Amino acid sequence: DAMVIQNPRYQVTQFGKPVTLSCSQTLNHNVMYWYQQKSSQAPKLLFHYYDKDFNNEADTPDNFQSRRPNTSFCFLDIRSPGLGDAAMYLCATSRGTSGSDEQFFGPGTRLTVL
Amino acid sequence: AQKVTQAQTEISVVEKEDVTLDCVYETRDTTYYLFWYKQPPSGELVFLIRRNSFDEQNEISGRYSWNFQKSTSSFNFTITASQVVDSAVYFCALSEARDNFNKFYFGSGTKLNVKP
């Protein structure tokens, strides 16, 4: 089945230790998104790629970076995780950037920072 | 200002009861899109429905129905004869066509607990 896959599902890191979360998709969608979702809150968009064009949300901290080496894969790098970065990280894709394009979400990676 | 408001933080019902989840949105655009997503405990957001601003017809899909009213800027979601498997957090989202990409403005979500 075509889908959005996130690995790992659970990630534990230490305060200040860089961590990378990965996302892959078999939908061949042009757009990939990274969201941060804290407990009992709505998902918060961090950035998105349209093809290779990177678009950062204005309030996304510099601590968060992303890479998209090809259509299928996208990575979220947290350079120096703080305790406040503990959250669920959701990857999503959409066919295009039309307002009507629904976003397809992966199962998320739950990040714990010790 | 919040673009999407889901005033109900948490709702508890007993199985087989009907339940309505409210969603109120705010936009100046004439063309926009509204979505509902379900987030079960496993974490993945599951797409339920999309509605564009020009289509005010209500929609029914099995036990699910949606009531879109532009006059009150609402897009409410009703589950008929609820089941335990309906327990999840439900998010309403707005996408505005004038954005250069389809940024979703999510509401804060409503947690639905369906008890046997």
Average per-residue pLDDT in chain A?
93
CB contact under 8 A, A106 and B33: no
**Chain A residues with beta carbon closer than 8 angstroms to that of B95:** 99-100
A30 φ, ψ to 5°? Answer: -80, -30
pLDDT in tens, B55-109: 888 888 899 999 999 999 999 999 999 999 999 999 999 998 765 667 889 999 9
How many other CB atoms are found less than 10 A from the CB of residue B85?
9
CB A9 within 8 A of CB A3: no
CB contact under 8 A, B102 and A94: yes
Please give the Cα distance from A21 to A86 (Å, whole number).
13
Q: Is the pLDDT of residue B1 over 80?
A: no
Question: Residue A1 has what pLDDT?
Answer: 66
Q: CB under 8 Å to B30, separation ≥6 — which residues?
A: B53
Q: Hey, is the C-beta of B36 within 8 angstroms of any chain A C-beta?
A: no
pLDDT in tens, A3-47: 999 989 999 999 999 999 999 999 999 999 999 999 889 999 999
CA of B100: how far to CAs of B26, B38, B104, in Å? 19, 26, 12
- To the nearest whole angstrom, how far is the Cα of B99 from the nearest Cα of chain A? 8
CB contact under 8 A, B45 and A90: yes
Q: Which residue of B has its CA nearest to A93?
A: B102
